[in-house]
Homo-oligomer: A and B are copies of this chain.
Amino acid sequence: MGKGQDLYKKAKTLIPGGTMLLSKRPEMFLPENWPAYFSKAKGCKVWDLDGNEFLDMTIMGIGTNALGYGNDEVDEAVRKVVQDGNMSTFNCPEEVYLAEQLIAMHPWADMARFCRTGGEANAVAIRIARAASGKDKVAICGYHGWHDWYISTNLSEEEGLSGHLLPGLQPAGVPKGLVNTTIPFNYNDINAVRKIISENPDLGVLKMEVSRNHGPEPGYLEEIRKITKENNIILIFDECTSGFRETFGGLHKKYGVEPDMAMFGKAMGNGYAITGVIGKKEIMQAAQKTFISSTFWTERIGPAAALATLNVMEREKSWETITNTGKEITRRWKELGEKCGLEVSTAGLPALTTYSIKSKKDNWLAYKTFITQEMLKVGILASNNVYVCTAHTEEHVDRYFYELEKVFRKIRTFEEGEDVFAVLEGPVCHGGFKRLN
């Protein structure tokens, strides 16, 4: 066993859950055998604590590095910040330039606030929207972080978030006074939204992801926009995950539907922490009626990295590259499935593509574990998804599929009667986030 698993064993005694992010728990990939920690990352390669090199054909930092790990121009901007100073009694000018750029990219918006995590950006947006609407109730569709306002969904209905976040989530530690303040609805079901609105005259805010596992049905987003406007409900698009994947900015630009507010995160700083909220002036100014302030929102690396990232993205049209690569990967999963006699279904934005194999014996999680186990042996990080970056070349994709074919052929034998559990070298991986609604 490598140094990584040794350290992770210690981590579990020091950190509840072992990591800071559920999706990076080794158990989500390969319990007891995932390398767990990195010493180095560059392009689409990651090195573990033993110096082993891996091709990252999975979550790429959970989607933070659309330009690859260690993009030279972004890193150079960060180095300059380290040289000149990250923090001071004065503010950093980069936050103003970044606000200007995001608003130029989204002309429906007028003002911005920045944070350093997606959960914060979500909570800031909700605070501002509630202050602007004067109403407490929020309708949601999607994954919007860990804060009380969101997890409170499960106070009234234990499975309220099962299709948006995780099944069976207990809202432990969320005050019961928040019951019925956040109401979930299923994606692409416009009647569900109509019903929520008609039953809740005190609903002031509707927050959703622009796309879930599958995109919007024709007219769905337009209708959401229309009925929120008619009912004086602030429409927020959570673009923390979807931003910069198909357009230069929010995914909503693709559909031509404009919200009242939007949040960005993940890819915006190419691996450096920066998230933000943009919105219309009359709404954003409500931030002044309340208190939203944090020391580390003034650090400089975040906005400096974002400015450099946006610059590279715009010049390289990175969203086109990652979408094309993602489409090709998606196509080849299906093709490989057909070739190997496996039923493969795919989902997600092309740049955040996911697949699963239908198992007669309901063994999909065991197969997923087996895929990770076998691919790791040949130096590839693989699960059931690829978050594409511009450093993923055709050669990388070819190598991935060359190795994956051997694993798929083995899975075919499991479907035909061989025992997958006999060849698993550790426990089956945990089920992860669900974006199935």
- In the complex, A17 has a CB within 8 A of chain B: yes
- Point out the residue from B60, B172, B179 that lies within 8 Å of A290, measured CB to CB: B172
One of A127-135, A317-325, A335-343 at the interface: A127-135
Specify which of B11, B272, B293 is in contact with A22 (CB 8 Å cutoff). Answer: B293
Q: How far is the CB of A348 from chain B (nearest CB, A)?
A: 17
Which of B22, B60, B61, B149 contacts A175 (CB under 8 A)?
B149
Pairwise interchain contact A85-B41, C-beta atoms closer than 8 A = yes
Of B56, B79, B123, B172, which is within 8 A of A289 by CB? Answer: B172
Task: Report the Cα distance A131→B266, complex, angstroms.
Answer: 28
- Contact of A173 with B286 in the complex, beta carbons under 8 Å: yes
Residue with the greatest number of chain B CB neighbours at <10 A, chosen from A91, A114, A290: A91
Number of identical protomers: 2
Whether the Cβ atoms of B7 and A96 lie closer than 8 Å is yes
Check A46 for interface membership: any CB of B closer than 8 A.
Answer: yes
Are A286 and B149 CB-contacts (below 8 A) given A14-B100, A117-B116? no
User: Which residue of B23, B89, B113, B120 contacts A16 across the interface (Cβ within 8 Å)?
Assistant: B113
A62 at the interface (CB under 8 A from B): yes
Interface residues of A in 57-103 (CB under 8 A from B): 58-65, 69-70, 75, 78-79, 82-93, 95-96, 99-100, 103
Using a CB-CB cutoff of 8 Å, which residues 380-412 of chain A contact chain B? Answer: 381
How far apart are A47's CB and chain B's nearest CB, in angstroms?
Answer: 9
- With A14-B96, A22-B293, A82-B79 given, is the CB distance from A273 to B287 under 8 Å? no
A82 to chain B, nearest CB (A): 5
Q: Could you tell me the distance between the alpha carbons of A60 and B89 in the complex, rounded to whole angstroms?
A: 5
Q: Does A350 make an interface contact (CB < 8 A)?
A: no
* Contact (Cβ within 8 A) A175 B130: yes
Binds B, one of A30-38, A214-222, A224-232: A30-38
Whether B59 pairs with A24 at a CB distance below 8 angstroms is no
Chain B residues positioned under 8 Å from A299 (CB to CB): 271-273
Among B41, B118, B166, B289, point to the contact of A296 (Cβ < 8 A): B118
With a CB–CB cut-off of 8 A, which chain B residues contact A116?
Answer: 116-117, 273, 296
Contact-residue size bin, chain A (C-beta under 8 Å from the other chain): 35 or more
Contacting residues, chain B, for A178 (C-beta < 8 A): 175, 177-178
Give A301 to B84 CA distance when docked, in angstroms: 16
A sample of 12 inter-chain contacts (CB < 8 A) reads A11-B95, A15-B111, A20-B297, A36-B90, A39-B93, A41-B90, A42-B85, A61-B89, A136-B176, A172-B286, A173-B290, A273-B299
Contacts A62-B295, A64-B295 aside, 20 further interface pairs with beta carbons under 8 A come to A7-B96, A14-B96, A14-B99, A16-B111, A20-B113, A20-B114, A20-B293, A21-B298, A36-B90, A49-B93, A61-B88, A127-B173, A130-B172, A146-B293, A169-B291, A170-B289, A170-B290, A171-B290, A173-B290, A301-B301
A residues contacting B by CB (< 8 A) are: 4, 7, 10-11, 13-17, 19-24, 35-42, 46, 48-49, 56, 58-65, 69-70, 75, 78-79, 82-93, 95-96, 99-100, 103, 110-120, 123, 126-132, 136, 145-149, 151, 165-166, 169-179, 181, 265-266, 271-273, 275, 284-299, 301-302, 381
